[in-house]
Amino acid sequence: MTEFAQSDLSQSDLSQRDLAQSDVAQPSLAQANLARDTSTRDASAQASPADDSDKPALSVRHLTKTYAHATSPVLNDVSFDVPKGKVFVVLGPSGSGKSTLLRAIAGLEPIQGGTIALHGDVIDEGKPGRLTGRSKRASALRTRIGMVFQSYDLFPNKTVLGNITLAPTLVLKRKSSDVRDEAMQLLERVHLADRANSWPHELSGGQRQRVAICRALIEHPEVLLLDEITAALDPEMVREVLDVVLELADNGQTMVLVTHEMRFAEAIADHVILLEDGSIVDSTDDPKEFFTHPQSERAKKFLGSFEYKRHDSQPASDRS
Amino acid sequence: MSGVELLLQPSVLPRLLSGLWVTVWIAVVSVAGSIPVGLVTGWLMTRRNAFVRFLMRLYLDFIRIMPQLALLFIAFYGLARLWNWNLDATGACVLVFILWGGAELGDLVRAALQSIPASQYDSAYVLGLSTWQTYTRIIIPLALRRMLPASVNLATRIVKTTSLAVLLGVVEVVKVGQQIIDVYRFRCPDGALWIYGAIFLMYFFICWPLSLLARHLERKWSHD
C-alpha cells in the first residue's frame, strides 16, 4: 500500500473550482465534474469540499472477496489510496482479479472483508456471510462512482441523448433542460454532438464507448472506473476512445483503470499497481520507471508477456 | 345454384359474419386473459425458489404435451361435470385457451427476461437507478421488444385454434359454415368449397395483418 505526494493538490483544486464557478466560454469535462462539489453533491458527505480535499478520493482497505462456490479468495487483503485528480492503473494477468476489484468498488460484487471509502466516507464494508448480490448502497452513493464497461452496455431502448440524460433526471432529479444542455456539451467534447438522436445500434463500437463515458461523466463521479474499455474495439477505434480518456486525465478526473494497452497505461498513469492472484505484488508512483526498467521479477515477467520475439532470431553464426 | 350465387344469398354472408364475430370474441377474450396469466407465469418461472419453478414447469409441460382438443374435452366434459360446474361450451373454450395461451406466453416472458444481459442491470445499478426504475425504464421495455413478435404469432395461433370450439358445439364461424352447407346441400352441391373458401379468407384477413405486424416488429427491433 502506498500514499503519494499530495503537496499542491489542494492548491490546484481551488483554482479548478474557481474555474468551474465562473462561466468560462470553453466548457471542459473537468469543470463539469468539479461542479458537483458545489451543486449536486447531495449524498452522505457532510464535510465541505475544502475539508475532504486532504482525504484520498478513493480509499480501499484490506479488501477481501471470495466468489460463491470458490475455495480461494479472488481478492486478498487489497489496500490502496487514489488521491483526487490522479490516474490509477491496475495491471495484471487475466484472472488476477483486476475486473473484480473495479466491480467491487462499484458495488456490483459483495465484499467479505475490508472497507471502501470515498473522500473519507465509508460506502461499503465487508460482510463475511454475503457472497452474492450487489451491494445495498443507496442510489445517491452509487452516483458518486462512475463506471464504464468493456461491452459499452448502452441501453438499446434509449437514444444516445436518452442514455446520457436518464440517470441525472431520474436519480439526481435535475432539471431536464439543464441535463440536456450538459449532455450536449459532453457529446461535443467527444465529437458526437451530431449523433445525439441516433440509436446505440447505429454507432460504431468506439462511438458507443465514448457515449458510455459521457453517460458516466454527467453524474460528476468523484471516481471514474474504466474496465478494459478498449478491449472489445477494433484497433483503429481504440485511439478515439483513449484520446478522450487522456483529456479527462488532463482535466483532473480521478480515475482507476484496467487496461491491456501498455503504452497507453504508461502515458496516462500517475500510479501503477500489479495484481497477481488477488494480491498487490508491485506498486509504484513512477510509471515511467516501471514500464522501462521494471524492478521486481513479477513486473519483468508481466511486461515481458507483451514482448514478441522469434525463437530463431539469434544471429546465423550461432546456429550449427 | 352456383357457389357464387350461394355466397350472394341474402342470409349467407351475414350469418357467416355473425359466426366470425363469435370466433373473434373467443380469440380476443382468450388473448386478453392470457396476458396477465402469462406475465405472472413468466415472472414466477424466473424465481430462484425451486418449488415455484417446478410448479411452473409442470404447468407448462402439462399444457404443451396435451393436444388442445383433449384439454377442451377434459374441461368441458370432464371437470365441469365432475364439479357440477355450470360451464358452457364457450366458457370452457375461453378457459382452456387462457390456460394454454398463458403457459406459452409465460415461457416467452421467461425467455425474454433471461435473455437480457446482466450487464444492463449492472449499468443501471452503477448509474444509481432504483430496482423499480431499472425494471420500468430498461428491463421491461427491452423484454417487451424481445417477446412481442413471438407473442403476436402466439395470438394468431390462438385465433386459428378457436376453430376447435366447433367440436364442443359452439356456434362460431366454422359451425355456421357447416349449417349453411347442410341447408343448401341439394340446391348447391359444391357449396362446401365456396363456404369453406370464404371462411379461409376470413381467417386469413384476421391472421395475415397480425403476421405482418410480427414480422415488422421483429425487423424493427432485431438489433437489440
Q: pLDDT tens for residues B41-76?
A: 998 998 888 999 999 999 999 998 889 999 999 888
Bridge partner list, A282: A274
| Interface test with chain B among A102, A142, A198, by most B beta carbons within 10 Å | A142
Buried b (16+ CB within 10 A) or exposed e, A216-230: bbbbbbbbbbbbbbb
* CA closest to A221 among chain B residues: B127
* Rounded Cα gap, residues B190 and A65, in angstroms: 79
pLDDT at residue A43, rounded to an integer:
40
pLDDT at residue A16, rounded to an integer:
41
pLDDT at residue A36, rounded to an integer:
42
Q: What is the DSSP letter of B134?
A: I
Residues spanned by the domain of B182: 3-220
Do the chains contact at B126 and A171, CB–CB below 8 Å? no
Q: What is the DSSP letter of B136?
A: I
What residues of chain B lie within 8 A of the CB of A216, using their CB?
A: 126-127
Is B119 at the interface with chain A, CB within 8 A?
yes
Number of Cβ atoms within 10 Å of the Cβ of A118: 26
* Rounded Cα gap, residues A159 and A202, in angstroms: 10
Q: What is the mean pLDDT of residues A38-51?
A: 43
Q: What is the mean pLDDT of residues A63-74?
A: 89
Is B136 at the interface with chain A, CB within 8 A?
no
Question: What proportion of chain A, given as a percentage, has pLDDT over 90?
Answer: 56
* pLDDT of A65 strictly over 80: yes
pLDDT at residue A44, rounded to an integer:
40
Q: pLDDT for B96-151, tens place per residue?
A: 999 999 999 999 999 999 999 999 999 999 999 999 999 999 998 999 888 988 99
Which of the residue ranges A26-30, A214-218, A251-255, A259-263 would you say has the lowest mean pLDDT?
A26-30
Do the chains contact at A139 and B120, CB–CB below 8 Å? no
Using CB atoms and an 8 Å cut-off, which of residues 18-37 of chain A contact chain B? none
Q: pLDDT for A272-309, tens place per residue?
A: 999 999 999 999 998 888 998 888 888 888 888 888 87
Confidence of residue B10 (pLDDT cuts 50, 70, 90): confident
CA torsion angle A217 A218 A222 A225 (round to 10): -30
What's chain A's average pLDDT? 82
With H, G, I as helix, E, B as strand and everything else as coil, classify residue B55. helix
Which of the residue ranges A31-35, A163-167, B3-7 would you say has the lowest mean pLDDT?
A31-35
Is B140 at the interface with chain A, CB within 8 A?
no
* CA closest to A214 among chain B residues: B127
Q: What is the mean pLDDT of residues A7-11?
A: 40
Domain ranges of chain A: 12-302
Cβ neighbourhood burial of B118 (10 Å; 0-12, 13-18, 19+)? exposed
Do the chains contact at B126 and A156, CB–CB below 8 Å? no
CA distances from A164 to A160, A176, A183 (A): 7, 11, 6
Taking alpha carbons only, the member of A127, A138, A79, A135 closest to residue A107 is A135
CA distances from B173 to A20, B100, B224 (A): 73, 21, 40
Is B122 at the interface with chain A, CB within 8 A?
yes
Do the chains contact at B128 and A201, CB–CB below 8 Å? no
* CA closest to B122 among chain A residues: A108
Confidence of residue B94 (pLDDT cuts 50, 70, 90): very high
CA distances from A232 to A53, A153, A214, B221 (A): 36, 12, 18, 23
Do the chains contact at B123 and A155, CB–CB below 8 Å? yes
On whether the CB atoms of residues B199 and B177 are closer than 8 A, the answer is: yes
On whether the CB atoms of residues A260 and A305 are closer than 8 A, the answer is: no
Q: What is the mean pLDDT of residues A47-56?
A: 60
Domain A12-302 grouped into CATH 3.40.50.920: no
Q: Residue B145: which CATH number?
A: 1.10.3720.10
Buried b (16+ CB within 10 A) or exposed e, A279-297: ebbbbbeebeebbeebeee
Among B120, B133, B223, beta carbon nearest to A170: B133
Q: Which of A294 and A154 is assigned the larger pLDDT?
A: A154
Taking alpha carbons only, the member of A56, A53, A87 closest to residue A252 is A87
Among B117, B126, B145, beta carbon nearest to A106: B126
Q: What is the DSSP letter of A291?
A: H
* Rounded Cα gap, residues B133 and A54, in angstroms: 36
* Rounded Cα gap, residues A87 and A256, in angstroms: 6
Q: pLDDT for A18-29, tens place per residue?
A: 433 334 344 445
* pLDDT of A128 strictly over 90: no
* pLDDT of A83 strictly over 90: yes
Is A171 at the interface with chain B, CB within 8 A?
yes
Q: Residues B134, A255, A199, B108: is their CA dihedral positive or negative?
A: negative
Q: Which residues contact B135 (CB under 8 A, 6 or more apart)?
A: none
The three cell numbers locating residue B54: 417446478
What residues of chain A lie within 8 A of the CB of B117, using their CB?
A: 151, 153
Do the chains contact at A157 and B130, CB–CB below 8 Å? no
* pLDDT of B40 strictly over 70: yes
Confidence of residue A130 (pLDDT cuts 50, 70, 90): confident
Among B123, B129, B133, beta carbon nearest to A153: B123
Work out how many domains chain B is built from and give that number: 1
Is A157 at the interface with chain B, CB within 8 A?
yes
Is B222 at the interface with chain A, CB within 8 A?
no
What phi, psi does A151 have (nearest 5°)?
-100, 25
Q: What is the mean pLDDT of residues A2-28?
A: 41
On whether the CB atoms of residues A110 and A130 are closer than 8 A, the answer is: yes
Largest CA distance in chain A: 77
Question: What proportion of chain B, given as a percentage, has pLDDT over 90?
Answer: 53
| Interface test with chain B among A157, A166, A223, A256, by most B beta carbons within 10 Å | A157
Confidence of residue A189 (pLDDT cuts 50, 70, 90): very high
Taking alpha carbons only, the member of B163, B152, B218, B193 closest to residue B4 is B193
pLDDT at residue A314, rounded to an integer:
60
Q: Which residues contact B40 (CB under 8 A, 6 or more apart)?
A: B106
* Rounded Cα gap, residues B60 and B102, in angstroms: 9
pTM for this prediction:
0.76
Is A149 at the interface with chain B, CB within 8 A?
yes
pLDDT at residue A313, rounded to an integer:
63
Buried b (16+ CB within 10 A) or exposed e, A63-74: bbbbbeeeeebb
Using CB atoms and an 8 Å cut-off, which of residues 239-298 of chain A contact chain B? none
Q: What is the mean pLDDT of residues A162-180?
A: 94
Which of the residue ranges A230-234, A247-251, B82-86 would you say has the lowest mean pLDDT?
B82-86
The three cell numbers locating residue A316: 546465423
ipTM above 0.90, yes or no: no
| Nearest-neighbour CA in chain B from A134: distance (Å) | 9
Do the chains contact at A155 and B138, CB–CB below 8 Å? yes
* Rounded Cα gap, residues B152 and B132, in angstroms: 27
| Nearest-neighbour CA in chain A from B133: distance (Å) | 8
* pLDDT of A147 strictly over 80: yes
Is A146 at the interface with chain B, CB within 8 A?
yes
Do the chains contact at A139 and B128, CB–CB below 8 Å? yes
* Rounded Cα gap, residues A292 and B45, in angstroms: 56
Among A134, A146, A149, beta carbon nearest to B119: A149
| Nearest-neighbour CA in chain A from B142: distance (Å) | 7
